[in-house]
Structure 1
Amino acid sequence: MHTPYSSARMSAKTVLVRQAAVELRSVSKIHGRDAGAVRALDDVSLTFDSGTFTAVMGPSGSGKSTLLHCAAGLDRPTSGSVHIDGEDLSQYDEAGLTRLRRDRIGFVFQTFNLLPTLTARQNVTLPLELAGRRPRRGDVDSLFARLGIEERADHLPGELSGGQQQRVAFARAVLAEPAVIFADEPTGALDTNAAREVLQLLRSAVNENGRTIVMVTHDPNAASYADSVIFLADGRIVDTLARPGAEAVAAHMTRLGERVR
């Protein structure tokens, strides 16, 4: 049985001050025009603090993916602004956004997105090499060892299990030490054991390395690994849950599903 939330002990004199890794300010996103317009996000203001793990949940069509895409700079909001490490993304052109995503944002997707003709090691180092940076082999070896896939570093993705491929994808996401990692249904293609291993990996990245993770998921058990859960419906934040357990998350989702019918 995993521990979904853990916090370090602090003395009475210790004051923990968190900074915002990602901030959305009155963000709206409208798809289409006129009578066919769909408001995917509706005036959302939200902060993801550094060193936290947040799950985003909601019914189909609630705006989860749109929220992730806008927060990660993959899509521009119709109105409002998104800030990463204090930088307003609206100030960047497309080339600047590409560089920012490459240097300061990590991504983990359900489909792994590994190049099939490259080894695990080559997949992990490719983004930095494309950016003109040469990752040290020792850093990559150390990362693979921490993830328990050091013996698979020179294998092609097709020679790896789903869980191993997701670990490679995670290694690729963290090698550049990004400000935030966005995970979109990272366990959706995995069996129960592999999913648990990946979720424990994400949790440890926050607890031990101070990473910031924002995860979209439909799975209450996956959400229970997060520090908090944000629930969306019709493009709006309708509820939050701190230090969640799987049963409490499932109950919230059930009530939310009844609400939007």
Structure 2
Amino acid sequence: MTRTSYLEEPRPTALSPHAVALAGLVKTYGTGPARTTVLDGVSLTFPHRSFTAVMGPSGSGKSTLLQCAAGLDRPDSGSVTIDGIELTALDEVALTRLRRDRLGFVFQSYNLMPTLTVRQNVTLPGELAGRRVDAGRVVELLTRLGLAAHLDDRPANLSGGQQQRVSIARALLNDPAVIFADEPTGALDSRAGAEVLALLREAVDTGGRTVVMVTHDPIAAAVADAVVFFADGQVADFLYRPTAETVAARMAALGGVR
């Protein structure tokens, strides 16, 4: 079954074309009797300047959706379009370049190099790509994220919340069109998690980014403009203008957060 986008409801900030458009995504794993359909004909669109949370029980397909939408995995069929570019038509070299230049990633594990300083961790992807990195912009960005005193510290000397802010700085440095976040507050305490969510919210409201975030936390989801719920590889429900209470109630109806 193919579901149309939950964000077709008129929204004053929505622009056309959509930042991300998924059409008829199918993804399976295994063969024969062990074959499992993880995405079953999923179609969604995410407008520019929107913040969407993706939720669902364990095994519902939400993380696979994010992986396919971000070009980190390829669907068996269907299409993924980001900023008007169809990812499924790109070879691996072009796909890597698009991820590097147009997308930002924030994960539960911060993915920082322990032997590098904060500043070096932020600039590393650009340097590996052979791009000139604006050192002044790096300092400005880290200062804005409250890390001015930690430019030359290594990750081990930072709290979890500070490390996640470094990963957000790295994601923002190249002005990505879309930021994909997979459980970005999952390893943080409530205060640090709230700070990270506020930064992602700011990236949408002030920076004009589009954020797609997988989360299990109703409080985190309440920061988004809308929530899409997954169950059994399909879109099960939508929720606009979420609150923690309404998100928790919808998740309970789907079998709970696991």
Match of 2:244 in 1: 246
Name the CA distance, whole Å, in 2 between partners of 1:223 and 1:16: 20
Match of 2:154 in 1: 156
Name the CA distance, whole Å, in 2 between partners of 1:150 and 1:22: 33
Match of 2:86 in 1: 88
Name the CA distance, whole Å, in 2 between partners of 1:189 and 1:195: 8
- Runs of 4+ in structure 1 displaced over 6 angstroms? none
Match of 1:252, SS state, is helix
After superposition, the Cα gap between the structure-2 partners of 1:15 and 1:147, relative to the gap in structure 1 and judged at 3 Å, is closer
Match of 1:168 in 2: 166
Within a 5 Å distance, the mapping from 1:45-64 to structure 2 comes to 45-64=43-62
Name the CA distance, whole Å, in 2 between partners of 1:18 and 1:139: 30
- Structure 1: where are the runs of 5+ without partners? 1-13
After superposition, the Cα gap between the structure-2 partners of 1:129 and 1:106, relative to the gap in structure 1 and judged at 3 Å, is same
After superposition, the Cα gap between the structure-2 partners of 1:107 and 1:199, relative to the gap in structure 1 and judged at 3 Å, is same
Once the two structures are TM-superposed, the CA of residue 15 in structure 1 deviates from its matched residue by: 8.5
Match of 2:19, SS state, is strand
Match of 2:209 in 1: 211
Within a 5 Å distance, the mapping from 1:73-222 to structure 2 comes to 73-222=71-220
Aligned length: 246
* C-alpha contact 2:39 2:61 (8 A) present in aligned 1: yes
Name the CA distance, whole Å, in 2 between partners of 1:15 and 1:230: 18
Once the two structures are TM-superposed, the CA of residue 142 in structure 1 deviates from its matched residue by: 0.8
Match of 2:8 in 1: none
Once the two structures are TM-superposed, the CA of residue 18 in structure 1 deviates from its matched residue by: 4.3
Once the two structures are TM-superposed, the CA of residue 137 in structure 1 deviates from its matched residue by: 1.2
Name the CA distance, whole Å, in 1 between partners of 2:201 and 2:192: 14
Match of 1:3 in 2: none
Match of 1:230 in 2: 228
Once the two structures are TM-superposed, the CA of residue 113 in structure 1 deviates from its matched residue by: 0.3
Once the two structures are TM-superposed, the CA of residue 145 in structure 1 deviates from its matched residue by: 1.2
Once the two structures are TM-superposed, the CA of residue 36 in structure 1 deviates from its matched residue by: 1.0
Name the CA distance, whole Å, in 2 between partners of 1:190 and 1:161: 9
Name the CA distance, whole Å, in 2 between partners of 1:170 and 1:73: 19
Code of the residue aligned with 1:165 in structure 2: it is Q
Name the CA distance, whole Å, in 1 between partners of 2:67 and 2:58: 16
Once the two structures are TM-superposed, the CA of residue 220 in structure 1 deviates from its matched residue by: 0.1
- The normalised TM-score by structure 2 is 0.93
Name the CA distance, whole Å, in 2 between partners of 1:164 and 1:49: 29
Match of 2:98, SS state, is helix
Code of the residue aligned with 1:178 in structure 2: it is P
Once the two structures are TM-superposed, the CA of residue 19 in structure 1 deviates from its matched residue by: 3.2
Name the CA distance, whole Å, in 2 between partners of 1:210 and 1:162: 26
Q: CA RMSD in A?
A: 1.4
- Structure 2: where are the runs of 5+ without partners? 1-11
Code of the residue aligned with 2:159 in structure 1: it is S
Tell me the alpha carbon deviations over residues 125-165 of structure 1, each in whole angstroms, 9 at most, x when there is no partner.
01011111111111011101111111111100001000000
Match of 2:59, SS state, is coil
After superposition, the Cα gap between the structure-2 partners of 1:27 and 1:16, relative to the gap in structure 1 and judged at 3 Å, is closer
Code of the residue aligned with 2:158 in structure 1: it is L
Once the two structures are TM-superposed, the CA of residue 102 in structure 1 deviates from its matched residue by: 0.8
Name the CA distance, whole Å, in 1 between partners of 2:167 and 2:90: 26
Name the CA distance, whole Å, in 2 between partners of 1:47 and 1:234: 19
* C-alpha contact 2:14 2:49 (8 A) present in aligned 1: no
Match of 2:6 in 1: none
Tell me the alpha carbon deviations over residues 145-190 of structure 1, each in whole angstroms, 9 at most, x when there is no partner.
1111111111000010000000000000010111100000000000
Match of 1:32 in 2: 30
Tell me the alpha carbon deviations over residues 86-143 of structure 1, each in whole angstroms, 9 at most, x when there is no partner.
1111211112211111111110000100000000110000101111111111101110
